[in-house]
Structure 1
Amino acid sequence: MSKKTRIAIVGFGLIGRRHADVIRRAPELELAAVVEPGPEGGIAAEALGAPVFASLDDMLDVAKPDGVVLATPTPLHVDQGLACIVAGCPVLIEKPIAVTSREAKLLTDAAANAGVPLLVGHHRRHNGMVKAAKAALSGGAIGDLRAIQATCWFYKPDHYFEVAPWRTKKGAGPISVNLVHDVDLLRHFCGDVKTVQAIAVPSRRGFENEDLATAVLQFQSGAVATISVSDSIVAPWSWELTARENPAYPATPESCYLIGGSEGGLSLPDLRVWRHDDVPDWWTPISARNLTCSMEDPLAVQMAHFAAVITREEVPLVSGWEGLKSLEVVEAVSLSSATGQEISLGEEAGSPMNALASVF
């Protein structure tokens, strides 16, 4: 019988509990430990039968897991990630990788210098629908990828903000909280971003942050994406409500991504490829076919991948560097919306934050 890969969870909130459930359901994995200083989370973790620790350092010293999942608040990611790297323990960090790209670069550099695998939990890349779409795009199903329209609209109720007042503060709007997920998928499909132009609208509820933003991303490939995000629009068009990844969200039959190419179009997550029956011509009939895909839980697929990275059977699909570059784009959206300027993303990591410092 092969040895199980022992993975510890740090942070036992909503996402930490989902990760723990995934580990416990996988026969080749073992929940090595849980780190949770809060009494409520600690009690819930103890019910799983795994050792519970109040601190990450104690857990690393005693449990000695094969890998660690950080499902803690973003401001804790850098210090906790560095602790895992110093211990030589592969780490999967929930998105976003850090609060700023400068901090993210500290992590990616440390992991690279130590030779410790660092992954970022952009789990949507592990979704079967995304894999099928990526394969179709790479295989030329719609010709050259020219443009994407992405919509991320939903309505967060008042109690969402009442239970956590920090969500009403500057820097905690949908740009920083929600947009990073969609930006990462756009980069996955189109490659690196060259320029960003964005606008944001102040919260109608009187909060310090925005509640609506729209950005135009130009990619190095020449493709262009428009993306709109709001947490105060009633609509069925968001990944959460269309992808059926999380049963907590009521599903709709709509799509939230429209991907246009020189020979066809693709919508997601319904995976419909549209092409003209003969040559591309708006005067001739156009029809669609549906692609097929795996419907496995992307969190389970991601965890299996993490285990394979730990045993050096696979390389990270979403490395720390990939998480850093997606965070840079989100920072550029914030900077452009604040200044009204088009932001160029250079080769040097941390460039949007450097520009932000120069403006303010």
Structure 2
Amino acid sequence: MAWNEPGGNNQDPWGGKKGGDGPPDLDEALKSFQEKLNKMFGGRKGGADGSGGGSFFGRVPLGLLLVVVAAVYFFVGFYQVNEQERAVVLRFGVFNETKGSGLHWNPPLVDQVIKVNVTRKRQHRSEGTMLTEDLNIVDISLSVQYTISDARDFVLNVRDPEESLKQAMESALRHVVGSNVMHEVLTEGRETIAIDVQTRLQQYLDAYTTGILVDKVNIENSSPPTEVQAAFDDVNRAREDEERLKNEAQTYSNGIIPQARGSAQRMIEEANAYRDQVVAKAEGEAKRFERMLAEYKKAPAVTRDRLYLDAIQQVMASSSKVLVDVEGGNNMMYIPLDKIMESHPGSINNIQNVSPQVMQQIIDRVAERVRQDSLTTRNTTRSTR
């Protein structure tokens, strides 16, 4: 039954007053609400005029309280974004915008602000046992350095970006290692493998729109399993010996080839010099013969004797013994020039300085002495008979 119907005792549901058909009193409603707040916050109940309340809300006007609450709400909405951060703003759980560094304001309880450091170098390590292209097993440990290139993708597109990075890294590493032989993975091919892993990993992350940028991939260690480590060490030593022998052979080749070229060039130069010498000497002999021929035509006898004396001088200057034969005799005269030179060391210089005329006189005297000895020997033989 309605409160204003007959028999309803005219009970007012707003203020509890009896009688009257007018609208409820707003002041009474506010007082009722204030009393309820006082009860909630531990205040005692006031008088009928509301002046007897002893709580904070009983002493502070409601309008001022609302202003204070609004001021607190306003100041709580301010926040600072550092230079190395980006702020992703969600409004009622939906992406609204991305803000850079500086002081910003967003309404609390309406917007959610998630700050992401986009400059800090992050690192993730992984290790495992993998199969190479030539069906060998290797143990590899890998580390990845990365940064966040897109804060929105990093926060919203993937539930767990770092877990996605881990799985993508293992997938890229297994694909690249499985495309290379064991020798390349364990030795000089490690840098190339790291570059290939970085390229493939970045492709995976871009396809997932994780907002992650891979800066560098490092293969920290790659080794065969412990069971075959000794055999692998032997293979490595054999390869090192092979490389050392190749280097030694190359060094020998680099040394012997220039030496051979130098020797060949020296022989060519010597041959050219000998050729020039022989040609020059022949030309000189020809010119000397032409001049001698002209002198011979002028005085044949003198020139002939001169040539004979020159020849005798050259022969005697280079010989250590002289044998002299005399016409008409059976005896031969022996002159040991070497013995004479040993007993008279300075005589060799005197012999070389003797003129052709003196040499001819000596020859004539020696020949005359030989004839006389021969005649004496003959006469003695006849008288004896």
- Name the TM-score, length of structure 2 as normaliser: 0.16
Radius of gyration: which is bigger? 2
The structure with more helix, counted as a fraction of residues: 2
- Name the TM-score, length of structure 1 as normaliser: 0.17
The structure with more strand, counted as a fraction of residues: 1
Tell which has more relative contact order, 1 or 2 (C-alpha 8 A, sep 6+).
1
